[in-house]
Amino acid sequence: MMIWFLQFLLGLLMANAGEWIIHRYLLHGWGQQPDSFWAYHLYEHHAVARQFNMLDAGYQQRPECLNSQAKELLVLVCILILNLPFFWWVNGYACAIYFSVFTYYFLHRQAHCHHDWAKTYLPWHYRHHLINDNANWCITHPLFDYLMNTRGK
């Protein structure tokens, strides 16, 4: 049981690191190139969130073919599929990854459907969208922003 718990903690840590890396380098790095798959994040999601004070109407409806929410879900499903084999080797790790992906989607969606909720419960993500989009890369918890010294106030 202790090994499973340690695997779970490692999975949570890796998920938070992955959140930071993907957001920082793929979504904001490669996403700056307008012809990149990752451009949806800056040119659709960030633009809408900034224009409507954190709200993104795409999260209030079903994802449409190739809109930013559909692309986000596609990426999340790919992460889940890539981590599926870990259920046979390191079950606790895999459970943490799956838990983290579902938690990420719920929190991110909630933040962009309810402005006041985001400001209260995910202030780092709120500030990322409305104050400084070059800081606060984590969504679910700012651990790696603290570790990488990218936590903006």
- Evaluate whether residue 33 is within a structural domain: yes
Are 36 and 2 in contact, with CB atoms under 8 Å apart? no
Single out the residue of 54, 55, 73 nearest to residue 63, CA to CA.
73
Helix 2-21 and helix 91-113, axial crossing angle in degrees, nearest 10:
40
How far is the C-alpha of 104 from the C-alpha of 15, rounded, in Å? 10
pLDDT of 127-141, one tens digit each?
Answer: 999 999 999 999 999
Domains held by the chain: number: 1
Mean pLDDT, the chain, rounded, equals 93
pLDDT by residue (tens digit) across 92-120?
Answer: 999 999 999 999 999 999 999 999 999 99
Q: pLDDT grade, residue 152 (50/70/90)?
A: confident
Residue 2: count other Cβ atoms within 10 Å of its Cβ: 7
d(CA 102, CA 118): 17
**What does pTM read for this prediction?**
0.93
Residue 152 lies in a domain: no
28 pLDDT higher than 90: yes
Share of the chain above pLDDT 70, in %: 98
Q: Does residue 47 sit within a domain?
A: yes
Give the CA distances from residue 23 to residues 62, 81, 85, 138, in Å, rounded to whole numbers and listed in that order.
Answer: 23, 19, 24, 7
Sign, CA dihedral 30-148-10-104, equals negative
The reply to whether 153 falls in a domain is no
Q: Which amino acid type is present at position 127?
A: R
Domain span at 10: 2-147
Q: Does residue 101 belong to any structural domain of this protein?
A: yes
3-state secondary structure 87-124: HHHCHHHHHHHHHHHHHHHHHHHHHHHCHHHHHHHCHH
